[in-house]
Amino acid sequence: MISGYGTTAAGDPVIYLNSNEPTIAHVPDIAIVATMLHEAIHAYLLVYDKNDPSAAKLKYPELFTNYQKNERNFNKTHHTIMARDFISDLAKALKSFGEANKYDIDKQVYDDLAWKGLTNGDAEGFNSLSETDKYRINRRILAEQYGIPKDEINIEQVGKALGCK
Type and span of the H or E element at 6 = strand 2-7
Q: Please report whether residue 128 resides in a domain.
A: yes
Q: CA distances (Å), 88 to each of 75, 93, 104, 129, 131, in order?
A: 19, 9, 19, 14, 20
Q: Please report whether residue 163 resides in a domain.
A: no
- Number of structural domains (the chain) is 1
The amino acid present at 90, given as its one-letter code, is L
Longest dimension (CA), the chain: 51
**Quick check: 39 and 74 in contact, CB under 8 A?**
no
Q: Please report whether residue 160 resides in a domain.
A: no
Per-residue pLDDT, 88: 95
- Tens-place pLDDT, residues 3-56: 555 666 666 666 666 566 666 777 888 988 998 899 888 888 877 666 555 555
Q: Please report whether residue 100 resides in a domain.
A: yes
- Tens-place pLDDT, residues 132-162: 999 999 999 888 887 776 667 778 888 887 7
Q: Please report whether residue 158 resides in a domain.
A: no
Tell me the H-state helices in 12-153.
21-24, 29-51, 53-59, 61-69, 74-81, 87-100, 107-113, 124-127, 131-146, 150-153
Per-residue pLDDT, 32: 87
Q: Please report whether residue 14 resides in a domain.
A: yes
| pTM of structure | 0.77
Q: Please report whether residue 164 resides in a domain.
A: no
Q: Domain range holding 71? A: 2-153
Q: Please report whether residue 165 resides in a domain.
A: no
Name which residue leads in pLDDT, 127 or 7: 127
- Tens-place pLDDT, residues 56-68: 554 555 555 555 5
